[in-house]
Amino acid sequence: MRLEEGKLILSEAELAEVKKANVMASPSIAGLYLRSFLRNKNLVEDLETQPDVKFYTECVQAYRRKNFEVK
């Protein structure tokens, strides 16, 4: 999962989790959910350099604007 110029680029597995997180009321809560899920499921390659919650909040906001691409 990455953001490029405000556009969210993600895999099918990540998209499924972003969809789950999207049903939460606020983007910040959804961001916390995403960060926690990715950490617990080891979908993040290097846990030490995992982005902060703000990154995941921006990912949810990009998804809500339908500004995403699945690769």
* Strand pairing category for 2-4 and 68-70: unpaired
Identify which has the larger pLDDT, 52 or 19: 19
pLDDT 10s digits, 45-61: 554 566 788 888 999 99
- Across the chain, mean pLDDT equals 84
pLDDT 10s digits, 22-43: 888 788 888 888 888 777 766 5
35: Cα within 13 Å, side-chain hemisphere: 17
Q: What's at 24, amino acid-wise?
A: M
Closest to 2 in 3D by CA, of 66, 64, 47, 58 = 58
